[in-house]
Structure 1
Amino acid sequence: MLGISDLGRAVGLNRSTTYRYVATLAKLGYLQQDPDSRKYSLGPRVVDLGFAAINSMEITRVAGPFLQALSDETGYTVSMAVLDGPDIVYVDRRRSGRAGTFAMGLHLHVGSRLPAYCTSMGKVLLAHQEPAVLRDLVDRTDLARRGPKTITAREQLMVALARVRRTGFALNDEELAPGLRSLAAPVRDRSGAVVAAVNVAVHLTVWNASVESVMSRLEAPLRRATTEISTRLGHRPQA
């Protein structure tokens, strides 16, 4: 445990500045003060940060082979993303050697961010948020038109998210970009929480099939992959 003076010397700040930072960190739960010595030690929220980092690394490590297998099986690009506020962040992206090539102009890669509301993975991740959290995220989102079929009305988006919760997958039909379709499903951890989403993306220039045909062909392999990943993360569906 360290006192204010010790912490100030360690980080090169004066006492008053150190106290302000420490007070904020203690209020947030990252530091805790011993009532007798008045010194500080790491708080419980630091454990959460550690687990978040471990889980993030674990997800990508566990999911990689299944994402590649899904891409090879379907012949299309497969991605995995997590939610960060009203956006999704790509944490893995796999291409099949036999997939057709086409220019989407999105230039997506690991680390890319997109608005959640107009992506299939984003809709999966939004749909499984607590109601109050979901309302806050939607309120913070500019529902701008990104593709020819983007959902731009709040009520329509909430209906679509309810359907995702009910069916267990999300379809994106030219909501992000013209000609782009994708199907996404959730990845759950050992507690059952949705911690990531996986999608398979196709383009009309490669496969100009009906939405029903896309879902019929891709839903089963996508569900198998996300179930395998979730199982490896410790998820056990309730009987």
Structure 2
Amino acid sequence: MHVVVRALGVLSALSDRREGVTLQQLHRELDIPLGSIHRLLRTLESEHFVTRSPSTKRYSLGAAALALGYHETFDSYLVAPPQPVLDIARASGETVFLTRMVDSRVVCIALVESTHPLRLFVRMGQEMPLHAAASARVVLAHKDPVLVEALLTSNPREAFTRGTMREVNQLIDHLARVRRYGFDVCSSELDDDVWAVAAPVYDAAGHVECSVALAAAAGRVESPEIRAEYTERVLRAGEKLSRAYGYAGPIVIPQRAELVDLYSQAVDGHPFEPAIRAKQEQ
């Protein structure tokens, strides 16, 4: 029973520490001998209740622990908007939100609504379609290819607009470009005349379970310069959140001039595949 109580204490200590906690911190906070807590953490890690970052050596909750809190409404995953999300929303006036993969779904867990009269319909707890939302695809792009194909094949791929990507092979090719460029763009794919950009958020172990996204009415972000600015802001926010969660690996963010050039050549707002889009429309 004593071991069970200690294990619950460790899980409780990690529950609100997304940046991760070191072995020494847990030792001091829980007053558990180093040898005992090290053995306990090894057992919890082997059962996927905790995970340890190979770079920062910090511990955080694992998939098995997170699964215990899963339920259909996703209420337990909803959080207050972190500062980087608030900063982009304040600077842009647009809708900015944070998503997280829960089981096989990607859900909006934090949201700041646009200050403009014309707002977009995004709500807390909303499930984002895996094939049509940039905020979901940027998470999928960093998952195991076998899992990705299984999720895309088994989930309905509704045609929300004429521009919605629905073919599995096309989506898998698109995800490869998302990994290459480090962000994703959705332009009139989920909603007509809505443009969105999303960046991954890495956890301490280098996994991507979350994304940060900005969505705006397409008419407010028509110029390559504005789209490049918002893309850079979203990428910077993703970097700040990743560092806050304990990720110490590399994050490459294109220069503003590179992004302007990408958007200047884009077809229908898609910066990485203008040639493909142009060919499809012929």
Assess same fold via TM > 0.5.
yes
Cα contact 1:86–1:141 (8 A) shared by 2: no
1:44-87, Cα deviation, whole Å (9 max, x unpaired):
35553336789x989946x6111111111122110111123553
Give TM-score scaled by structure 1 length. Answer: 0.71
Corresponding position of 1:209: 222
The aligned counterpart of 1:75 is 93
Larger Rg: 1
Query: What is the rounded CA distance, in whole Å, between the counterparts of 1:68 and 1:166 in structure 2?
Result: 27
- Kindly state the Cα deviation for residue 213 of structure 1 after the two structures are TM-superposed: 4.0
* SS of structure 1 residue aligned to 2:82: helix
Aligned counterpart, 2:142 = 128
Q: How many residues align?
A: 191
SS at structure 2 position matched to 1:101:
coil
Q: Cα deviations across residues 149-208 of structure 1 (Å, max 9, x unaligned)?
A: 100212211111111011010000011011111000000011111120010000135x15
Question: Residues 77-226 of structure 1: matches in 2 within 5 Å?
Answer: 77-96=95-114, 99-104=115-120, 106=121, 108-205=122-219, 207=220, 209-210=222-223, 212-226=224-238
Residues in 2 aligned to 1:95 and 1:149: alpha-carbon distance in whole angstroms = 25
> Unmatched 5+ residue regions in structure 2?
2-43, 51-61, 252-282
- The equivalent of 1:16 in structure 2 is none
Secondary structure at the residue paired with 2:192?
coil
Question: For the structure 1 residues 86 and 191, does the alpha-carbon distance in structure 2 shift closer, same or farther, using more than 3 Å as the test?
Answer: closer
Which whole-Å CA distance do the structure 2 matches of 1:74 and 1:59 have between them?
23
- Percentage of identical aligned residues: 23
CA distance in 2, matches of 1:59, 1:235: 22
One-letter code of the match for 2:117?
Answer: T
The one-letter amino acid paired with 2:87 is A
Q: Does 1:237 align with 2:255?
A: no
Distance 2:137 2:198 in 1: 8
Establish whether residue 44 from structure 1 lines up as the match of residue 59 from structure 2: no
Report the aligned-residue RMSD. 2.8
Give TM-score scaled by structure 2 length: 0.61
> 1:215/1:208 Cα in 2 relative to 1: closer, same or farther (>3 Å)?
closer
